[in-house]
Structure 1
């Protein structure tokens, strides 16, 4: 399906490297050469005296003066990063560094003859785990860097990879994939896992059933390998931490670990050489692929636990419902039957150990390590897709629920639910909690202590949506309204969004309204003018059971 334009550009601002791709019409996406001799641009920066350098220029600085993985500052809500200075470590504004990197990406794309302008669809990727505040921060920084972004620009990275895969299977092979696709996106800073329901073809429809993420990926493996190297030097009788300032040694070890990790995707062993200045004579180590897998094993164990949590969470979207006990009782072998396809995305997925572990866990699924491009290019290829995004449904609302009321002749407003706020955390699913959703009740419910107000829905561009309410007896009996009237003034007030699209509202009078959205649609301003809500009164639930307690693989029962 064509988008607003037949020309799209995707920007993948990555933790370690950044990519830009463009696509015209139905032609395959092509990468824009950004680096010096490479398609990618290093997402690093550093200070040379007072000058902020980015990319390859920063990579020439001493290791302890280089700022790496600055994107994680957004993930962690950090305002500053630490870099070595003449008088010791200094705190540097993370936003300034991110703006500099994004601006350089724009300059290099223009120098390559592919300017990032308003003449096409521009999409920028972000981790699926990011909430509305993190997304707004990236958009603000991209605007300051000169990129023409708006509220419709951001796309979840694993979703973009899934779009690239669906488009590639249709365009290259004429396939129309149908079923559930598990996207395993492990980059430098985050691990994102998404379960997508796919109806492929020329006009594919993609529904996101679940998405979980953690702030642990390639950087965490670098740290584990660096710790291994420290122990290997110690066995040789060398304490590397005595050879130079701690910040310098740490940076050098992490750089050596990252290089070894990348090389061992192609070779069986890698020599580790540390700089003689100021480290002095240090033995040359030989680091093997088996050692890398040993360092990686605990992290992959946690990643597989996240995968099972994501597949379980996908079942929360199913109508008819499963009790929390039944969901806890579902074994990995049964969960594996839910997945038809697996796509490995992100630079870390190039490590063969990843495919072996995931392939073993899902013996019936088809595993793909490319979407017409390499695993670490799948996200940017999907961001540059000229279609597919009009028929995209999310697992959580990408719009605000707001409460409005009149007070002393003035209109007041508070946000009840902010767009993209997660309905649950990864830990809640890992712990076996399945009555999940976003809730505000009692004193947490915004608004005055008495009076009447209205609940409305607002797109991220600031425009309000009309609500179409269907009472469940058929599409002919439909009411269209601007909002839902509420009576304020009681601890009985409640609002909850459930994972299966149910919306529960109760006001101060005890009046209850229960509705459902089939899938949370992508709403981009006036392109989608209406949100359709259907009555769910009378829907049955599944009776709870307790036999899962005897299973040693069942998540713990949370009460």
Structure 2
């Protein structure tokens, strides 16, 4: 069985192609969204999802989130005595989702289509595949998120030629892709984006303004000085951001040094605060249109994906840029997972789906370092020579020729990078080839460099010394910051030793984590009320009577809803 997974920065989801449609798979708590949060409980067992998210405030030293942003890096997160890489944290989320799917489907899940931001780098894609491997999933295909959204909207079933733009703003990343459909072929014309821009940044902007307006006068200057305070700020910022979608004025309130700090923010003020972020959203859209050589009015449809597109300011931005309302009849939180399920159905050759050819692009420019002449006889290294330009349709093969710059030069060092900067120091190093050349006067020896980039995101570099015909090859399979095969085996063994919090207890653990968080966040009569209701529920747990436990759990949930009001995933 193949499932489709949207591995998100804030939330992750799963769907399956069944009975001719994409079906969302609920988790153990009955929700379609699983927060991409991992933590350890008081016994050191691993918690994933909602109970872990509620412990972000109460146990920040044992809980972590937003790790998708660090995929492909060697960043390490310390949780208690345990240390985790981003791939391992993502693997724990994927493993939880795999177990949810197996429980829902009643059969073993062996393979998954996992979605990634279109603008994910080579290293980030490889790290995502490794996360799937660590979770016990075969991941033959990574699907770009905007392409998944297009599949979910059924654009691949259209009989007419069409061009459309997918605007995908998630919790931590932003992608825009322009796709064209013709004669059963769905072709990505161009992709652009920002891997460090998402809904979470709008929350951070609100927090920063709150500190500027009322925090600093009260002595609150550093939002991250205290982990508990920072998570409280983030939770309140998220609530305010969501409330501004339906209200003109919302109070941003937290308690600091036993005193409430309150700031009233209006929708107009929020729009002004978010203007730098909105500008960052516009730039990739304009770049993608330029690269695709398509004007905005030539697009047949604008599609929104990602939970952050619910915000009115985002819808207004899109409507203003394109002069029309975007398509948003599908749930933006679920559309990418549904598209992944469609791709899974295509892979399983489901009869309900017409076969379609999909092409994609290389999202970054790939090239080599060269030296440029800055004065007669003087050269300076560190410049970037593009060989495969960004948004070239893959598979693709391109060639450039370089020459020696010094007399009697014995070798040419071909250093390979990806990125868009003129200087290699601002691009990402991928690998290098040492190419011996015959010693001759400067410029008399030339080396042809051919790059070949395939559909799996693997880059092969081949050099040919024109003077001798000698060839050298390098396959870029590993990147700095990405685990090597032997390291994957070691991490698999280490993850296997971890104790996972018992699944059958998860629903009770989740409500206790929420009760603990609210107890710490409230005072006075509200705190006493929560403490009393929690004690009643714990007494029911001690009885081991499942009917009594279920009734007590519902009573505690009602009590917590009474104190907290509306909650969200």
TM-score, normalised by the number of residues in structure 2: 0.61
Question: What CA distance in whole angstroms lies between the structure 1 residues aligned with 2:100 and 2:172?
Answer: 24
Q: CA deviation at 1:389?
A: 7.5
Q: Return 65-74 or 385-394, whichever deviates more.
A: 385-394
Question: What CA distance in whole angstroms lies between the structure 1 residues aligned with 2:298 and 2:452?
Answer: 24
Q: What are the superposed Cα offsets for residues 102-126 of structure 1, whole Å, 9 maximum, x if unpaired?
A: 11111222233365614xx731111
Alignment partner, residue 19 of structure 1: 13
Q: CA deviation at 1:210?
A: 0.9
1:132 and 2:136 aligned? no
Q: CA deviation at 1:98?
A: 1.9
Q: CA deviation at 1:132?
A: 2.9
Number of equivalences: 395
Q: CA deviation at 1:496?
A: 5.6
Q: 1:490 to 1:146 in 2, by over 3 A?
A: same
Q: CA deviation at 1:52?
A: 3.3
Alignment partner, residue 265 of structure 1: 245
1:159 and 2:114 aligned? no
Question: What CA distance in whole angstroms lies between the structure 2 residues aligned with 1:78 and 1:99?
Answer: 15
Alignment partner, residue 103 of structure 1: 95
Q: What are the superposed Cα offsets for residues 118-159 of structure 1, whole Å, 9 maximum, x if unpaired?
A: 4xx731111112233322221122111122x23x32111111
Q: CA deviation at 1:272?
A: 3.0
Alignment partner, residue 331 of structure 2: 374
Asked if structure 1 preserves the Cα contact closer than 8 Å seen for 2:4 and 2:112, the reply is: yes
Alignment partner, residue 75 of structure 2: 79
1:355 and 2:288 aligned? no
Alignment partner, residue 212 of structure 2: 231
Q: 1:32 to 1:233 in 2, by over 3 A?
A: same
Asked if structure 2 preserves the Cα contact closer than 8 Å seen for 1:243 and 1:280, the reply is: no
Question: What CA distance in whole angstroms lies between the structure 2 residues aligned with 1:312 and 1:232?
Answer: 40
Q: 1:82 to 1:192 in 2, by over 3 A?
A: farther
Q: CA deviation at 1:45?
A: 1.5
Q: 1:11 to 1:305 in 2, by over 3 A?
A: same
Aligned CA-pair RMSD: 3.9
Stretches of structure 2 that go unaligned for 5 or more consecutive residues are 347-353, 368-385, 392-396, 404-411, 416-432, 439-443, 454-459, 470-569
Q: What are the superposed Cα offsets for residues 472-513 of structure 1, whole Å, 9 maximum, x if unpaired?
A: xxxxxxxxxxxxxxxxx9533133679xxxx9999433899x
Question: What CA distance in whole angstroms lies between the structure 1 residues aligned with 2:317 and 2:54?
Answer: 37
Question: What CA distance in whole angstroms lies between the structure 2 residues aligned with 1:243 and 1:131?
Answer: 30
**Aligned pairs (5 A) from 1:500-539:** 507-509=464-466
TM-score, normalised by the number of residues in structure 1: 0.62
Q: What are the superposed Cα offsets for residues 210-240 of structure 1, whole Å, 9 maximum, x if unpaired?
A: 11121211222121111122123248x4233
Q: 1:112 to 1:355 in 2, by over 3 A?
A: same
Q: 1:115 to 1:15 in 2, by over 3 A?
A: farther
Asked if structure 2 preserves the Cα contact closer than 8 Å seen for 1:243 and 1:279, the reply is: no
Question: What CA distance in whole angstroms lies between the structure 2 residues aligned with 1:261 and 1:394?
Answer: 35
Question: What CA distance in whole angstroms lies between the structure 1 residues aligned with 2:46 and 2:311?
Answer: 33
Question: What CA distance in whole angstroms lies between the structure 2 residues aligned with 1:244 and 1:195?
Answer: 38
Give SS of 2:67's match. coil
1:29 and 2:25 aligned? no
Asked if structure 2 preserves the Cα contact closer than 8 Å seen for 1:345 and 1:375, the reply is: yes
Q: Return 249-258 or 265-274, whichever deviates more.
A: 265-274
Asked if structure 2 preserves the Cα contact closer than 8 Å seen for 1:396 and 1:422, the reply is: no
Give SS of 1:135's match. helix
Stretches of structure 1 that go unaligned for 5 or more consecutive residues are 1-6, 316-333, 402-420, 427-435, 452-488, 513-559
Asked if structure 2 preserves the Cα contact closer than 8 Å seen for 1:270 and 1:288, the reply is: yes
1:194 pairs with 163, 169, 177, which one? 177
Q: CA deviation at 1:359?
A: 1.4
Q: 1:176 to 1:266 in 2, by over 3 A?
A: farther
Return structure 1 stretches of 4+ with deviation > 4 angstroms.
Answer: 241-245, 421-426, 436-442, 445-448, 503-507
Question: What CA distance in whole angstroms lies between the structure 1 residues aligned with 2:90 and 2:461?
Answer: 40
Asked if structure 1 preserves the Cα contact closer than 8 Å seen for 2:400 and 2:449, the reply is: yes
Alignment partner, residue 145 of structure 1: 135
Give SS of 1:376's match. coil
Q: What are the superposed Cα offsets for residues 285-342 of structure 1, whole Å, 9 maximum, x if unpaired?
A: 4433333322222111121111010111112xxxxxxxxxxxxxxxxxx832342211
Give SS of 2:447's match. coil
Alignment partner, residue 38 of structure 2: 45
Question: What CA distance in whole angstroms lies between the structure 1 residues aligned with 2:224 and 2:284?
Answer: 39
Alignment partner, residue 235 of structure 2: 255
Give SS of 1:367's match. coil
1:117 pairs with 94, 109, 123, which one? 109
Q: CA deviation at 1:437?
A: 8.0
1:246 and 2:226 aligned? yes
**Aligned pairs (5 A) from 1:250-329:** 250-274=230-254, 276=255, 279-315=257-293
Q: 1:159 to 1:238 in 2, by over 3 A?
A: same
